[in-house]
Amino acid sequence: MNLPDPMENLVRSMLKELGEDPGRDGLERTPARVASAMRSFTAGYDMDPAQILNDAMFDVDYDEMVLVRDIDFYSLCEHHMVPFFGRVHVGYIPNGKIVGLSKIPRVIEMFARRLQVQERLTMQVASTLEQVLEPKGVGVVIEAKHLCMMMRGVAKQNSYAITSSLRGEFEEDSKTRAEFMGLLRQNRDAFA
């Protein structure tokens, strides 16, 4: 016998508080759908960055910048539990180790699938790569639109936020920082 998800009762109560009838056609299965969606949106709490990265670490004699940019992400703002979304750009300078390129978006996804603020998300991605890879430097830039700013309150439709976390050579060496930022400014359609 399957026990109902306790979150379903909370959603049912919320619908009532909003003046809705949770039993009406169209809302009858909404509590189950919302509970399932929220569990998916916050699945990052059950993930471990070491497990994501450690099986894809390789010893390589390469010491130039590695950049993965335009990594799409979706997250939930911890203040209003509404989405914010955008792109993440990650660069690092290896120090004898590289990580499989697909693992970088997986780390981003893990942290994005939690209740978040953009600033913390930026730092968590940079810190994790810095701790696990021990690179000469790492840089993370996130550009995101926040529905809490677009749908409520100030209601500014064209605004977006940019955050960065620069570590090691990305912070200390102005040439490295300029190269990283320059690569981010390149035309996004240049590769297509």
pTM above 0.95, yes or no: no
* Residues comprising the chain, all counted: 192
The bridge status of strand 83-93 relative to strand 57-59 is: unpaired
Catalytic residue among 8, 77, 109, 116: 77
186 is an active site residue: no
The architecture CATH gives domain 51-185 = 2-Layer Sandwich (3.30)
State both tokens at 164: 């960065």
pLDDT of residue 41: 96
Domain-wise residue ranges, the chain: 6-41, 51-185
157 part of the active site: no
Of 92, 65, 2, 102, which Cα lies nearest the Cα of 110?
Answer: 102
Which pLDDT tens digits describe the chain residue by residue (192 residues)?
677 789 999 999 999 999 999 999 999 999 999 999 999 999 999 999 888 987 889 999 999 999 999 999 999 999 999 999 999 999 999 999 999 999 999 999 999 999 999 999 999 999 999 999 999 999 999 999 999 888 887 777 788 999 999 999 999 999 999 999 999 998 766 555
Catalytic residue among 78, 119, 134, 172: 78
**pLDDT recorded at residue 162:** 96
Is the sign of the CA dihedral 60, 44, 29, 145 positive or negative?
A: negative
| pLDDT on residue 190 | 57
**Is 124 designated active site?**
no
Name the region of 40 (left: φ>0; alpha: ψ -120 to 50; beta: rest): alpha
- Name beta bridge partners: 167: 138
Can you give the pLDDT at residue 189?
64
Determine the pLDDT at residue 1: 64
Catalytic annotation, pick one of 89, 109, 116, 146: 146
- Contact in structure between 123 and 142 (CB atoms under 8 Å): no
Cα-Cα-Cα-Cα torsion 152, 118, 75, 41, nearest 10 degrees, comes to: -110
Catalytic (active site) residue 146: yes
Which candidate in 116, 118, 124, 169 is catalytic? 118
Quick one: DSSP state of residue 44?
A: G
Continuous H helices in 18-165 = 30-41, 49-54, 103-112, 118-133, 147-150
Catalytic residue among 79, 134, 172, 186: 79
Helix (H) or strand (E) holding 183: helix 174-185
The answer to whether 89 is a known catalytic residue is: no
Structure tokens at 104: 């970088």
Of 20, 80, 143, 171, catalytic: 80
